[in-house]
Chains A and B, each alone.
Chain A
Amino acid sequence: MQYQSQAVAKLYFTAAIGLFAGQILFGLILGLQYVVGDFLFPEIPFNVARMVHTNLLIVWILFGFMGAAYYLVPEEAERELHSPGLAVLMFWVFLVAGALTILGYLLVPYSGLAKMTGNDLLPTMGREFLEQPTITKIGIVIVALAFLYNIGMTILSGRKTVVNLVLLIGLAGLAVLFLFAFYNPDNLVEDKLYWWWVVHLWVEGVWELILGSILAFVLIKTTGVDREVIEKWLYVIIAMTLITGIIGTGHHYYWIGTPEYWQWWGSVFSALEPIPFFMMTVFAFNMVNRRRRNHLNKVAVLWALGTAVMAFLGAGVWGFLHTLSPVNYYTHGSQITAAHGHMAFYGAYAMIVLTIISYAMPMMRGRKAANSNRSQVLEMWSFWLMTVSMVFITLFLTGAGILQVYLQRYSDTPLPFMVVQEKIALFYWMREVAGVVFLAGLVLYIASFFVGSKDPEAAVEQAASPTA
């Protein structure tokens, strides 16, 4: 580690992994509830399990992004973090607020939680993914502002690189767009319209900037390719992200009561959204092919390449699958959406956080550059188990979605929702099995932090032979 203050990232990464484990456990409970409706009822009803599953996802990814920023910004800015103490304080505030919120979901009926936390004073609760009590949302804003101040001051008083500026723009966008979570108009059309400004413009806008900058940082460090080359790629990728993603928000406006022109704007621009993800794939492969050295941390390079490919498949291909409005007319809100959501979140955001953890954690735990071979091999097993099982989860949900759309919406004699749910139960069972394999991969991932931790570091780094 080049700077002592980078160590604060370890706290964030540890919390991220813990919350990730929680998310997967609730995912398995939820998956089982699809086929065994009263499983764990009334202790954990379906709607609560779903809320915990999705909220934990958002929170652990945010912990991961913050950890990534605290790790890479000092190195890019070539100075210590502006205030490591503030970073530690905000970590505990965020963790305690997050834990209390999850406990609130599990222990108190949702309406009771709304009453307890004073939602009537500033009503913001009750919307998918933004279910957090208003007081938690205010806490998130405070944490985000303190975080941005800390990161911003570090960058402004240090070296400015494309990587840390793109990261800062992404993080600032993340914080600003979250403010729309406080806007809760009575008109349902307006409500949904602005709700997407948080949800869509996060995951198909500013989060992609964060993803791109973290990927660029890891590739600079692990391949030794000139920073200028990587930075040019990053510029083009983020430009394409914003060009396609901002107006691409229109693919959520097809059926909510907005004007008809969104059918065209949404279809055309969101059909272009796979382009930045495709470029990211070519970029990652290209940098690794042109590498000037073989980095000791092979598993971090594997995660980086995996991120690019899985993000392209999950966000790009599976997004395109149902993004054109004539197709979306039949598919919206079906299991096809769930298939896309699972692979896109895993490929783009879970994997990039695991990439930076894989790269940074060995150094934060006292290694020079990488873990032992034994530890890396175990982590590679976890990579393949989690990634392949996510491919299967996606395929099973896609199959479920196609059958659901056909029987419920396309057929001349459409069947009711719950009848169709029974007909696609086989896919839900197969998805659950794949989910168990995913959990096994996660267990191996966590084990890789302990197995081989006393073994010597992986073999000495060698310069790669010149390629082009």
Chain B
Amino acid sequence: MPHSSELPETGLPLAVMAEALYLSNLLLMPGLSFLVLLWLWWYRARAPVLARAHLAQTVSGSLWAGMLLVLCNAVIVLLGGYDGPWTWVVVITYFTFCHSVLVVFGAYGLAKAMAGQCWRYPLLGRPLPEGCPDGSR
């Protein structure tokens, strides 16, 4: 059995970490988790293709999430007025739905990372790098 340092580097732990940080940014520690994700993404050139793909997807997904959840809601509140009941109908329904969809993307991305596969986030994701295993069969 080869020593662990002799095993080929798959990038699986880093891919899983990228997806976990994306989810943490949405669910537990917004902002802080994104900064850690950005830090990992900064050194992506050294990472194996699987990790690179997941880092690209999650950074792109997080940026879109920021825009969809923070900016769009701010615009809705500014346009609709803070005291308008319909503003809150739109804001809360939109936020809950949009946030849930982004979390489900992350859950699927995490499952893909754990299975050692690449996955492009629908609508929000970057194109996958060459040679990335996507598990299609």
* Chains A and B are bound partners: yes
Residues of chain A touching chain B, judged by Cβ–Cβ distance below 8 Å, are 278, 281-282, 285-286, 288-290, 294, 309, 312-313, 317-318, 321, 395, 398-399, 402-403, 406-407, 411, 464-465, 467-468
A288 to B103, CA, bound (A): 19
Contact partner of B92 among A398, A464, A465, A467, CB < 8 A?
A398
Q: Is the CB of A281 within 8 A of B117?
A: no
Assembly CA distance A367 to B15 (angstroms)? 41
Within 8 A of A (CB), among B79-117: 85-86, 88-89, 92-93, 96-97, 99-100, 103-104, 107-108, 110-112, 114-117
* A406 CB contact (under 8 Å) in B88, B93, B96, B99: B88
Residues of A within 8 A of B112 (CB): 285, 289
B137 within 8 A of A: yes
- Known contacts: A281-B107, A317-B96, A321-B96. The answer to whether A399 contacts B89 by CB under 8 A is yes
Interchain CB contact under 8 A, A468 and B116: yes
Complex contacts, B131 vs chain A, CB 8 Å: none
Could you tell me the distance between the alpha carbons of A312 and B89 in the complex, rounded to whole angstroms? 22
B84 to chain A, nearest CB (A): 9
Contact check, A281 vs B89: say whether CB atoms are below 8 A apart: no
Q: Contacts A278-B103, A282-B111, A402-B88 known; list 16 others, CB within 8 Å.
A: A278-B107, A286-B114, A289-B115, A290-B115, A294-B137, A309-B104, A312-B107, A313-B100, A317-B96, A395-B93, A398-B92, A402-B92, A407-B85, A411-B85, A467-B117, A468-B12
Contact across chains for A467 and B135 when beta carbons are under 8 A apart: yes
Asked if B93 and A289 make an inter-chain contact with CB atoms under 8 angstroms apart, the answer reads no
Chain B residues 44 to 87 lying within 8 A of chain A, measured CB to CB, are: 85-86
Asked whether, in the complex, the Cβ of A398 is within 8 Å of the Cβ of B115, the reply is: no
- CB–CB B114/A312 < 8 A: no
Determine the distance from Cα of A403 to Cα of B85 in the docked complex, in whole angstroms.
Answer: 6
CB distance from B38 to the nearest CB of A (A): 24
Contact pick for B93, options A282, A288, A402, A468, CB 8 Å:
A402
Residues of chain A within 8 A of B97, CB atoms compared: 395
Output the residue of B111, B117, B133 with the most chain A CB within 10 A.
Answer: B111
Residues of B within 8 A of A399 (CB): 89, 93
Asked whether B85 lies within 8 Å of A467 as measured between CB atoms, the reply is no
Q: In the complex, which residue of chain B has the Cβ closest to the Cβ of A274?
A: B27
Q: How far, in angstroms, from A375 to B104 measured CA to CA in the complex?
A: 29
The distance from the CB of B13 to the nearest CB of chain A, in whole angstroms, is: 13
CB within 8 Å for A289 and B117 given contacts A402-B92, A403-B85: yes
In chain A, what residue has the closest Cβ to B109? A285
Q: Cβ of A468: which chain B residues have Cβ within 8 Å of it?
A: 12, 114-117
B12 smallest CB distance to A (angstroms): 8
By beta carbon, the residue of chain A nearest B10 is A468
Chain A residues contacting B115 (CB-CB under 8 Å) are 286, 289-290, 467-468
Which residues on the B side are within 8 Å of A317 (C-beta)?
96, 99-100, 103
Contact at B88–A467, with CB atoms within 8 Å?
no
A428 to B: closest C-beta gap in Å? 14
Q: What number of residue pairs across chains A and B have CB atoms under 8 A from each other? A: 67
Interface residues on B, range: 20 to 34
Chain A residues contacting B117 (CB-CB under 8 Å) are: 289, 467-468
Closest 9 CB pairs of A and B: A285-B111, A468-B116, A289-B115, A406-B85, A286-B111, A281-B107, A402-B89, A317-B100, A465-B137
Output the nearest chain A residue to B104 by Cβ-Cβ distance: A309
Chain B residues lying within 8 Å of A406, measured Cβ to Cβ, are: 85, 88-89
Q: How far is the CA of A313 from the CA of B96 in the complex (A)?
A: 10
18 contacts between A and B (CB under 8 A): A278-B103, A282-B110, A286-B111, A286-B115, A289-B114, A312-B104, A312-B107, A313-B104, A317-B100, A321-B96, A395-B93, A395-B97, A398-B92, A402-B85, A402-B88, A402-B92, A464-B137, A467-B117
Docked pose: A286 CA to B117 CA in angstroms? 10
Closest chain-B Cβ to A438's Cβ sits at a distance in Å of: 18
| Residues on the B chain within 8 Å of A309, using CB | 104
What B residues does A313 contact at CB under 8 A?
100, 104
Chain A residue at smallest Cβ distance from B97: A395
Chain B residue nearest in CB terms to A318: B96
Once A289-B111, A398-B92, A398-B93 are accepted as A-B contacts, the answer to whether A281 and B85 lie under 8 Å apart by CB is no
CB-nearest residue of chain B relative to A321?
B96
- Once bound together, how far apart are the Cα atoms of A448 and B74, in whole Å? 46
Picked from B12, B88, B92, B108, the residue with its CB within 8 Å of the CB of A285 is B108
B86 touches which one: A285, A294, A403, A411 (CB < 8 A)? A403
Contacts of A407 in B (CB 8 A): 85
What CA separation (Å) do A309 and B107 show in the bound complex?
Answer: 9
Residues from chain A with a CB closer than 8 A to the CB of B133 are 467
Which chain B residues border A467 with CB–CB below 8 Å? 115-117, 133, 135
The chain A residue sitting closest to B110, CB to CB, is A282
With the chains together, A313 CA to B102 CA distance in Å? 11
Residues of B within 8 A of A464 (CB): 137
Q: How far is the CB of B75 from chain A (nearest CB, A)?
A: 18
Q: How far is the CB of A429 from chain B (nearest CB, A)?
A: 15
Residues of chain B contacted by A288 (CB below 8 angstroms): 111
Closest to B92 in A: A402
Query: In the complex, which residues of chain B have a beta carbon less than 8 angstroms from the beta carbon of A278?
Result: 103, 107
B102 to chain A, nearest CB (A): 11
Q: For residue B135, which residues in chain A have a CB less than 8 angstroms away from its CB?
A: 289, 467
- Report the separation of the CA atoms of residues A288 and B107 in the bound assembly, to the nearest whole angstrom: 13
Roughly how many angstroms separate A395 CA and B89 CA in the complex, as a whole number? 10
Q: How far is the CA of A395 from the CA of B93 in the complex (A)?
A: 7
